[in-house]
């Protein structure tokens, strides 16, 4: 079991057979020590692949993305779910369908911070059905930049996100892969490559 799986077992709660609550370190309160280790692990896995920028999405992707950016020595940009008052530059946008909310949301980044030729690592807190992940990849490609891969803190391996991303040829590195949340107990996929 890796460090993150240990934290998830200790602090996480299976709210249902589909939803994992981890608001003690990731989704509400943020544990800087855990996030530092997460950032180090993303950096270790993507070192040597020529990452020039990290893209994430507000709000829970920002903490792990910033720690990875610190380790890799690159800037971090987060896609917004709502337009900012000061966001008067040209925007790149993508539509993201939310399975939980059953609605489409537009996400956006300024063209100023995501430009052609960049090699972008996309980081997010959760990978579920992969809709947000695909929307982020769309932003990168619309900018004329390359998707170097995905760094996911917690993947729900029983949902379709990983498969969708692999099918499109993307590299997916998930630090914890949850196999099941059934009966209130959290289990991980056997591997979790170190």
Binding residues vs Na ion (CB under 5 A): 60-61, 124-125
CB-based contact 20:12 (threshold 8 Å) = yes
**For residue 128, what is the enclosing H or E element?**
none
Kindly identify the residues of this chain, within the stretch 161-190, that bind ligand G4P according to CB under 6 A: none
Q: Out of Na ion, ligand G4P, none, which partner does residue 98 contact, by CB within 5 to 8 A per kind?
A: ligand G4P
Residue 132 among known ligand-binding residues = yes
Which residue, judged by CB position, is nearest to Na ion in the bound state?
A: 60
Residue 26 among known ligand-binding residues = no
Q: Out of Na ion, ligand G4P, none, which partner does residue 99 contact, by CB within 5 to 8 A per kind?
A: ligand G4P
Angle 154-94-83 (CA atoms, 0-180°, nearest 5)? 95
The gap between the terminal CA atoms of the chain, to the nearest Å, is 10
**Residue 43 vs 57, nearer CB to ligand G4P:** 57
Residue 48 Cβ vs ligand G4P, minimum distance, rounded to whole Å? 28
Kindly identify the residues of this chain, within the stretch 121-140, that bind ligand G4P according to CB under 6 A: 125-126, 128-129, 131-132
Binding segment for ligand G4P among 16-24, 38-46, 144-152, 169-177 (CB under 6 A)?
A: 16-24
Cis, peptide link before residue 178, omega less than 30° from 0:
no
User: Would the CA dihedral through 72, 147, 192, 23 be positive or negative?
Assistant: positive
| 22 belongs to the binding site for ligand G4P (CB under 6 A) | yes
- What are the residues whose beta carbons fall under 8 Å from the beta carbon of 113, sequence distance 6 or more? 75, 77
Burial class (CB in 10 A: 0-12, 13-18, 19+), 116: exposed
Interaction site with ligand G4P (CB under 6 A): 19-22, 27, 58-60, 98-101, 125-126, 128-129, 131-132, 156
């Amino acid at each position: 079991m890796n460090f993150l799986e240990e934290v998830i077992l200790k602090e996480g709660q299976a709210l249902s057979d589909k939803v994992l609550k981890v608001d003690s370190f990731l989704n509400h309160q943020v544990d800087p020590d855990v996030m530092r280790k997460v950032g180090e692990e993303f950096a270790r896995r993507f070192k040597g692949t020529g990452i020039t920028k990290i893209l994430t999405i507000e709000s829970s992707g920002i903490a792990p993305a910033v720690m990875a950016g610190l380790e890799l020595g690159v800037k971090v940009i987060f896609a917004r779910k709502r337009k900012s008052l000061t966001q008067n530059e040209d925007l790149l946008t993508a539509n993201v369908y939310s399975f939980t909310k059953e609605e489409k949301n537009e996400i956006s980044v300024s063209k100023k911070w995501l430009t052609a030729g960049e090699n972008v690592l996309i980081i997010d807190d959760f990978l579920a059905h992969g809709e947000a992940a695909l929307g982020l990849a769309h932003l990168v490609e619309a900018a004329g930049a390359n998707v170097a891969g995905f760094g996911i803190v917690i993947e729900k391996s029983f949902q379709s996100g990983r498969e969708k991303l692999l099918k499109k040829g993307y590299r997916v590195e998930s630090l914890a892969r949850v196999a099941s949340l059934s009966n209130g107990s959290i289990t991980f996929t056997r591997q979790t490559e170190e």
